[in-house]
């Protein structure tokens, strides 16, 4: 779980920096104390929730893949595999966000990469005996 939170911190760091920079140089529509509360407390909790929900969603997709391939894997194993398989797609997303590249293809690329990695990881496990 700590591993996932560190990854999410890294992926959200460019956005948090940009938000803070825009707040400092731009018009301040909200008070400073409310901004700091949102940035330090609400934003990390939202990121953590979205990360757990995202990993669970992708682990669910991996569970369906596992069922079609008839492999011996529990959801807990798939959840951990998904969390570790997210490393490369998250790093790719960090680079794309830092370069401020926006395109549908660039948003879909990490998703495809994650599921290719999960597919390769699932194929390593033995099939169920019938």
pLDDT of residue 130: 64
User: Over 80: is that where the pLDDT of 129 sits?
Assistant: no
pLDDT of residue 103: 76
Q: Which of 28-32, 57-61, 63-67, 76-80 has the lowest mean pLDDT?
A: 28-32
Dihedral angle over CA of 11, 13, 15, 17, nearest 10: -170
User: Over 80: is that where the pLDDT of 110 sits?
Assistant: yes
Nearest to 106 by CA among 116, 95, 98, 96: 96
User: Over 90: is that where the pLDDT of 38 sits?
Assistant: no
- The overall average pLDDT reported for the chain is 84
Cα 55 to chain center, whole Å?
7
The pTM of this model reads 0.78
Residue 16 CA: distances (Å) to CA of 10, 39, 44, 101, 128: 10, 7, 10, 17, 46
């Amino acid at each position: 779980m700590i591993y996932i939170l560190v990854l999410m911190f890294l992926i959200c760091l460019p956005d948090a920096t940009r938000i803070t920079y825009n707040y400092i140089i731009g018009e301040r529509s909200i008070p400073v104390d409310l901004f700091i509360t949102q940035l330090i407390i609400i934003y990390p909790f939202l990121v953590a929730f979205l990360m757990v929900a995202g990993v669970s969603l992708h682990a669910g997709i991996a569970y369906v893949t596992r069922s079609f391939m008839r492999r011996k894997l529990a959801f807990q194993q798939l959840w951990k595999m998904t969390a570790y398989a997210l490393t490369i797609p998250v790093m790719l997303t960090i680079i794309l966000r830092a370069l401020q590249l926006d395109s549908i293809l660039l948003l879909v690329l990490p998703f495809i990469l994650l599921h290719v990695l999960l597919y390769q990881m699932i194929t390593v496990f033995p099939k169920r005996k019938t």
